[in-house]
Structure 1
Amino acid sequence: MNTSVPIVRIVDDDASFLKAIARLLRASGFEVKTFASAAEFLLQPELDIPGCVLVDLQMPGLSGLDLQEELAKEGHKLPVIFLSGQGDIPTTVLAMRRGAEDFLTKHAPKEDVLDAVKRALDRDAFERAGRARMEALQACFATLTSREHEVLQHVVQGKLNKQIAHDLSIHERTVKLHRTSITSKLKVSSSAELTKLWIEVSPIKK
């Protein structure tokens, strides 16, 4: 299987519905894998492959909501689309609050199902790109020395080289050298860009 192609995982204990929805998605050009239960799905070794999950709400054993919760606990961020024989507002609200992409009944038009899957795959691709960018930024920041980190913290506060030199008890020329090294390692050309990256990778302090 080509691991670069997103996979739509379908989880449903209704064998006939599982077969029908899988046929629809494959005919529409999607890569599909089917599972007869949430427990079977959670045993698969391919949860890190891009894609989404189309899951029945009510199943024996672990329900669709249970599956959504387990994925969150394990840190898997695959978008989840719920399908239900009968929808109810409280369950729908709970699923959406937990980040579900959509909540559809099993009688929904096929166009709605296909649209939800496309949105889920787009969301997954967008979020993966964001996480990859963050990891790359964090890797760049990790190359800074302890002194460079100290200088950086002063730079993002808007301090001048002379002020930084005084605060750290080092020569102003040394501050300039550290700033040059920092901008080179982080691939930026200005203090404004540097500050923007710092805000992006720094945890929000409450």
Structure 2
Amino acid sequence: MIAVIDDDASVRFALQSLLRSFGYEVLLFPSAVAFLDAPERRAPHCIISDVQMPQMSGPELQDRLAAEGDGIPMIFITAFHEKAVEARVIERGAVAVLSKPFDGDEIASHVVRALERPRP
């Protein structure tokens, strides 16, 4: 199961369609806060999150999950690629940071890598 967290509905639905075409179950969330409040929060084996979102950014979500001891693998997507943000999230365990628009096969390969990681 993969959680997709993005404040842009069109991105969420496009990723859902793509990931389902590869055979994955997908949960969609419009924000990091919505994900944290969801009863199925512990179900995903991987998170694909936008970097910049209102209320709580993707990197802030990564920090929050790490502080709670949840090392779920994360893939970040962004329309505004910043090397400093990429370095920070990768250092903290992110699988990848992809710039929008991204290639479907590219994200699929990163999902496979994320799902191969053991979740602490």
What's the TM-score bracket when you normalise by the shorter of the two chains? over 0.9
**TM-fit CA distance, 1:50:** 5.0
Root-mean-square deviation over aligned CA pairs? 1.2
**2:40 maps to which residue?**
46
Secondary structure (helix, strand or coil) at the match of 2:41 reads coil
1:37 aligns with 2:31: yes
1:23 aligns with 2:23: no
- Output the amino acid matched with 1:109: D
Distance 1:19 1:69 in 2: 26
**TM-fit CA distance, 1:69:** 0.6
1:87 aligns with 2:81: yes
Deviations 1:10-54 (A, max 9, x none): 000001111111110011100100000000000123333351000
Q: Which has the higher contact order (CA 8 A, sep 6+)?
A: 2
Secondary structure (helix, strand or coil) at the match of 2:16 reads helix
Distance 1:77 1:44 in 2: 17
**TM-fit CA distance, 1:114:** 0.5
Deviations 1:92-115 (A, max 9, x none): 000101110111112121111000
Q: Which has the higher helix share?
A: 1
**1:200 maps to which residue?**
none
Distance 1:46 1:22 in 2: 17
Secondary structure (helix, strand or coil) at the match of 2:75 reads strand
Give the counterpart of 2:95 among 98, 101, 108: 101
Secondary structure (helix, strand or coil) at the match of 1:48 reads coil
- Structure index of larger Rg: 1
1:56 aligns with 2:50: yes
Distance 1:61 1:13 in 2: 10
Aligned length: 120
Deviations 1:128-176 (A, max 9, x none): 4xx6xxxxxxxxxxxxxxxxxxxxxxxxxxxxxxxxxxxxxxxxxxxxx
Give identity over the alignment, percent.
39
Distance 1:48 1:59 in 2: 21
